[in-house]
Chain A
């Protein structure tokens, strides 16, 4: 029932081994350099040489900013992953709590950064609090989910062994589960590292004296294309380095490569249990929300509780207007979000299939895809909008990019999952590559595809709200930023509730489709 990948899994190592891979990268760089020089007057692209020149001149400033942001990102990374460990241990020690724990974790993960940022700033006051917390919030879910898979990724007989010596759950956790989960933990950590950096940068937008996020805003406003691209380059390099570093650490510690698992397979449970758990999650969220406001004595001017939101949406004299404004903004967002999400999924899965048909290409594509998956959205959003404009195309592309890379990586992995013997059987019938793709590979790919599709829901919501806020100025992302600046905290909290709930519902919807499709194509995965 788990995507048991503990055996024989090859990490898609982003190590470039072949000359043709280098060739691809050189071609990309040359094209970029040329574009930078041709498009100077449009203030959109800085050539690699210009970026290097900027970095050579301003390396001290950049290093100081990097130091600050990296420090916060690291603190958030540690805290977020510790939280994930604690939650996973809780769910493992008390399995009945698992669905409630993951439900709560999902809701918290779906909270829109644009809105949580200012709320955290008010809560923490001046300092690094929001940067660290946003970094932690950005990582804990992507660690928790693989960890939960990993904690179950052990054959029953290992647990029988522990039981046969009269030991219980705790010994199983210490001696079996913890070690079995280690590869999965590393997978989570690899994805988490770039996310922490992103969280720390966004945190700086809430009021900070220094850091990469501060410089990014400054560069955009000052029309400093070199600085904008230099920042994006440094952020990307750091993200990729962190990814590689954790990968290297994992290879040193682990006996096998970390599995490429992005999300937990959905569990089939009875409808009544599902409703009970969902109800419990909602109840706990409401309690935590109202409780935090009461406990920390937050001012009613900006801290709106569940009752305030219900009143704002249904009771107040302007409730109809509030609902209309939210509906309009959500509609605008959906217009870009849904096509972008679907396009990203289709492109990711499509390219993965194409690459298996033309294996030579994958040597360039794979490391590139893994690297680009780590690029922080805050730096890409302005670049994509610079390149493609503020209209539908730019926004849809941005969402699609956020969905595309994780999907591609997951699908490539899934496509490679097919056991060799099955191909031998097909070969014995002289089946062509297309037949093999459709009959064997795609069904084998589906579980990984859906795992990516589920995790892409919150990611795409994050992408679009950031894009709307920083670049296009429309939709729910902009509404949230505007509500905060106009002190319309009823609207802000209502938006947060709606965005979180809709993201979680989107996730559930994908999980629903997943279950039905997998029942047909990959029954052993359920």
Chain B
């Protein structure tokens, strides 16, 4: 298929900022490049503007300043040719469609052929075998999130945006997914941006972790993750990985305490 052969896009944010109506500044003039084919994790304290940044990259939120380029194209253009997928924090499965039906809908919306067999493969991959015909209401929160991830992968997008996709997934499944997903990303050739709360997840899944400050989001640290692939859960106990996790943690807590100082003074 043609999207497989084109290299995954490079995403360039230039002076990207967002101020909501009412004056809340969520993101402040970010200059940021996500390299082609890389997986980048965005971590930061709650409400720091990570999701807003992700939505701006997807073009679902209009930036107040600056611009986003996805392989040289505007987000809208990319969306129109089904070049990106988003897995939302809320799985957003349509309640009247089965798991299979929800995934098929994504293909339909993306104007891609609906291939039942590959949908079933994806369902199996996210560990939902036997639940293809189940409706979202019959699934647990974690299962719904997995269905949403399968849906996001189904269209084989060049850019995959994941907004805390494992929030409700249980620890065991999460580990399994953390092993399996990167393989798919690599195989499909996607640039992936992952928003997460979990520092270890960020380190183990990505090629690079960006730590953001509390609102408005600014870049605190940009840490390249040089770990061999495929990665396993055991690596977390590995010295290099542990160091990296520690590094991200301290950057995170520094940025937090820094932000809390002026708050306390008020």
Contacts and interface: CB of A to CB of B under 8 A. Distances in A.
Contacts of A165: 79, 82, 85, 106, 109-110, 155
Interface string B104-118: 011011100000000
Given A155-B90, A157-B92, A175-B94, A163 B135 contact: no
Contact of B94 (A167, A171, A179): A179
Nearest to A7: B95
Given A160-B86, A166-B81, A155 B76 contact: no
Interface string B78-103: 11111011101110101110000000
B88 A171 contact: no
Contact of B79 (A163, A175, A176, A256): A163
Interface in A205-251: none
B137 interface: yes
A459 to B, nearest CB: 32
Contacts of B106: 161, 165
Interface residues of A, number: 18
A269 interface: no
Nearest to A179: B96
B58 interface: yes
A255 interface: yes
Nearest to B107: A165
A158 interface: yes
A365 B135 CA distance: 35
B235 interface: no
Given A179-B96, A255-B95, A255-B96, A166 B88 contact: no
B60 interface: yes
A410 B135 CA distance: 30
A266 B94 CA distance: 27
Interface string A401-423: 00000000000000000000000
Given A165-B82, A165-B155, A157 B90 contact: yes
A158 B94 contact: yes
Interface in B117-149: 135, 137
B150 to A, nearest CB: 14
Given A161-B92, A165-B109, A255-B137, 14 more contacts: A157-B88, A158-B92, A160-B60, A160-B86, A160-B92, A161-B86, A164-B79, A166-B76, A166-B79, A166-B80, A166-B81, A166-B82, A171-B109, A175-B94
Interface of B: 55, 58-60, 76, 78-82, 84-86, 88-90, 92, 94-96, 105-106, 108-110, 135, 137, 155
